[in-house]
């Protein structure tokens, strides 16, 4: 039995080859792998001794040869294939152990592997059936189970791997090459150095980059969810193969295992709290329920910020996700202990003693510590029979570019309230209305079929606490009734995209009500 071993990641390969040789297998290898095995005293036959041809083109061509691929691809169940091997003096290869150049580490042409994927795919194609076939190993984690099975079967004298194992390994091999190709396609989709999306000048805001003609997803399962969206569903977290996300660096101090919705809502809360904190340049706290913020506040004192975020909607905060963009201190944990229990708390860190107090008083609350969220990529959403893809969610307009369209202009404090309300509103499911004052979202109306109902919900939740503050609407007001609802809530300024056919009527109504109104020029729908 002959094995071809050619790996970039040499983790465990010397021990694997040593034990494989001890089972009676002949080892063929190339390049650095052959050198490493020979140095360790493993009997190894160089690829060039098999092919009769030296490596050429700086190693770009070494295994691309009939004596290699013929040995891999011969169908052992076909006498004609076996006769062809004999005719050309080619020895069959029964096991291919190969992993590829680390393209993601430094993307570029020199790390695009050619011979490796060719060998992996050839072996996986020929994994065969009960009559025999080729095994292929692309993951060092499979070295031990493969060795155990070969040893149990009696070594080289008795044959190779079972059909079930070869099939499992073949699937892993094709997943490996698919992920590799997907990484290369993603790299080729990136703009070349010096390019600007949409041809924008250097002093202009660039247009979103065009979406690629194809999208290639290669994902690996890394976390089993406690359950799916409901207990009778199964769920899991996947990530792009070979890439680590902030979730992979998060640490759960305590609490139950995460469910599908815990992941979903915590991810939303973590993105929102950092966006809000960065925009405000201060501490921020966001409480999320069903992917929507039900409380949001910013300020200098974390304990006070948490209290205001919780007081926004204490009823909805029960069982929610609480996200902090600063280290949770002992003063803040005292406020948490006095509030309704959260399902999950996530923060960049905790002062000494905080986690222990949370474990004692909030035994079932999941306590997570995590780095900043990753930069957002394109958004994908599955629909029946396909996918919708769009560029990442952003805030394109800056407050200094907003247009004051009413007779009364906002004061400095009103403008600050408008900026805060608009930022929160951009993260709320449409139709969205946010009433805010003093960097606190006192009223949030989300997910209604009309804007007036969202405004009434926001006003009821605010209960007068946003008086003198701001009202943000994620899309334009088509009629004056939405502005009337904002005025009834007592706000002093309304911020909205503008662009309705009846903008003049809406502005006139705002003037009659004594409101200031700002147009952002951008819509912030989220569905």
Q: What are the residue numbers of the active site?
A: 125, 290
What strands lie across the sheet with 344-347, from one edge to the other? 251-254, 366-369, 344-347, 321-324, 283-289, 292-299
Contact assessment for residue 79 and residue 130, using Cβ atoms and an 8 Å cutoff: no
Residue 155 is classified by DSSP as G
User: Quick check: helix, strand or coil at residue 286?
Assistant: strand
CA-CA distance, 15 to 105, in Å (whole number)? 26
Q: What are phi and psi of 442, to 5 degrees?
A: -70, -25
C-alpha distances (whole Å) from 454 to each of 86, 420, 443, 447, 486 are: 79, 18, 10, 7, 11
Contact assessment for residue 470 and residue 437, using Cβ atoms and an 8 Å cutoff: yes
Q: Using DSSP, how many helices (H) and how many strands (E) does the chain show?
A: 18, 21
Crossing angle of helices 163-189 and 143-152, rounded to 10°: 160
Is residue 296 within a helix (H) or strand (E), and if so which, with residue range?
A: strand 292-299
Give one DSSP letter per residue of 163-182, joined into a string. HHHHHHHHHHHHHHHHHHHH
Residue 142 is classified by DSSP as G
Length of the chain: 527
CA-CA distance, 47 to 195, in Å (whole number)? 43
CA 110 to chain centre: 27
Residues sharing a CB contact under 8 Å with residue 213, sequence separation 6 or more, in sequence order = none
């Amino acid at each position: 039995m002959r094995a071809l071993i050619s790996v970039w990641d040499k983790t465990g390969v010397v021990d694997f080859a040593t034990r494989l040789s001890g089972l009676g297998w002949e080892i063929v290898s190339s390049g650095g792998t052959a050198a490493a095995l020979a140095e360790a005293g493993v009997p190894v036959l160089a690829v060039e001794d098999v092919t009769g041809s030296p490596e050429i083109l700086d190693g770009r061509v070494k295994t691309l040869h009939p004596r290699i691929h013929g040995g891999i691809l011969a169908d052992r169940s076909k006498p004609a294939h076996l006769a062809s091997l004999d005719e050309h003096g080619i020895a069959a290869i029964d096991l291919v152990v190969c992993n590829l150049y680390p393209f993601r580490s430094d993307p570029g042409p020199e790390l695009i592997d050619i011979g490796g994927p060719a060998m992996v795919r050839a072996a996986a194609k020929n994994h065969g059936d009960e009559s025999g076939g080729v095994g292929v190993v692309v993951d060092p984690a499979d070295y031990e189970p493969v060795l155990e099975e070969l040893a149990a079967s009696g070594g080289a004298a008795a044959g190779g791997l079972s059909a079930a194992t070869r099939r499992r390994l073949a699937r892993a091999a094709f997943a490996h090459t698919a992920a590799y190709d997907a990484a290369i396609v993603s790299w080729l989709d990136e703009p070349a150095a010096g390019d600007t999306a949409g041809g924008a000048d250097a002093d202009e805001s660039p247009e979103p980059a065009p979406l690629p003609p194809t999208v290639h997803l290669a994902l690996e399962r890394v976390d089993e969810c406690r359950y799916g969206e409901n207990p009778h569903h199964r769920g899991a977290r996947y990530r792009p193969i070979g890439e680590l996300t902030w979730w992979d660096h998060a640490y759960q101090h305590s609490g139950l295992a995460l469910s599908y919705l815990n992941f979903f809502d915590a991810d939303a809360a973590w993105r929102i709290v950092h966006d809000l904190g960065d925009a405000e340049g201060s501490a921020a706290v966001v409480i999320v329920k069903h992917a929507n913020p039900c409380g949001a506040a910013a300020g200098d004192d974390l304990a006070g910020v948490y209290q205001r975020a919780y007081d926004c909607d204490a009823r909805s905060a029960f069982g929610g996700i609480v996200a902090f963009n600063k280290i949770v201190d002992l003063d803040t944990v005292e406020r948490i202990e006095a509030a309704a229990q959260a399902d999950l708390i996530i923060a960049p860190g905790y002062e000494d003693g905080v986690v222990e107090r949370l474990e004692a008083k909030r035994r079932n609350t999941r306590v997570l510590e995590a780095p900043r969220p990753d930069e957002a990529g394109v958004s994908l959403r599955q629909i029946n029979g396909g996918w919708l893809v769009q560029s990442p969610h952003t805030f394109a307009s800056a407050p200094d570019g907003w247009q004051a369209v009413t007779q009364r202009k906002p004061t400095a404090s009103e403008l600050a309230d408008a900026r805060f309300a608009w930022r929160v509103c951009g993260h709320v499911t449409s139709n969205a209305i946010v009433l805010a004052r003093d960097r606190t979202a006192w009223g949030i109306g989300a997910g209604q079929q009309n804007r007036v109902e969202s405004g009434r919900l926001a006003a009821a939740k605010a209960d007068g606490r946003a008086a003198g503050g701001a009202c943000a609407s994620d899309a334009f007001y088509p009629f004056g009734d939405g502005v009337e609802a904002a005025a009834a809530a007592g706000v002093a300024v309304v911020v909205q995209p503008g662009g309705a056919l009846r903008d003049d009527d809406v502005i006139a109504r705002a003037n009659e009500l004594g409101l200031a109104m700002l147009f952002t020029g951008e819509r912030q729908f989220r569905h």
